[in-house]
Structure 1
Amino acid sequence: MAEKKIKIASARGLIIPKQIAGTEKDLRVEPHKPVSVPESYGRSLIENRFAVAYGAAEKPAEPQAATGEKAG
C-alpha cells in the first residue's frame, strides 16, 4: 500500500532527494511552491521547521459572531 501524501512548501525552497521524489535527479522546488511528498517525510520537515503544511493558513476561520450587529 502506498504511503499517504502531504503537500508542503518552504519560504526558502526545497531540495527533495530523488529517492523520495521518485525521479532520476533530486527535485528542486522553488520558494513558496507546493510539493507533494510522503507524509512521514513531510511531517519531519515540518517538525524541523524546514517547511510548512501547504494550505494550512488558507483554511477559513470559524465564524465568531455575526458581523454588522452592534452590542448594547
Structure 2
Amino acid sequence: MTLNDIKVMEKECLSPAIVAQVIGCDPHYIRLQARQNPAALGFPVNVQGTRTRIPRRAFIRWMEGKAEPNRSR
C-alpha cells in the first residue's frame, strides 16, 4: 500500500493496518497511541470503542506536510 493507493481510494476512513503499511510500523502501535495520546500521532484519529479509524483526507495532508494541528476526537 502506498500513499498514491490511498489517494485513489473511495473510502473516507482508513484502518490502522492500512496507515501502518504506508508509514512502516505495526498497526497495534497506532491503535495504542490513538487511545493513550492521539495528539502524538500527528494526524487525526477517531476512536469508537475498540475501533480506530483515520480520516483519509487528513492523513494524506499530514503525509504531504500540509496538516493542521491534530484535532483528534
Question: TM-score, normalising length from structure 1?
Answer: 0.27
Q: Whose strand proportion is higher, 1 or 2?
A: 1
Q: Whose helix proportion is higher, 1 or 2?
A: 2
Q: Greater CA radius of gyration, 1 or 2?
A: 1
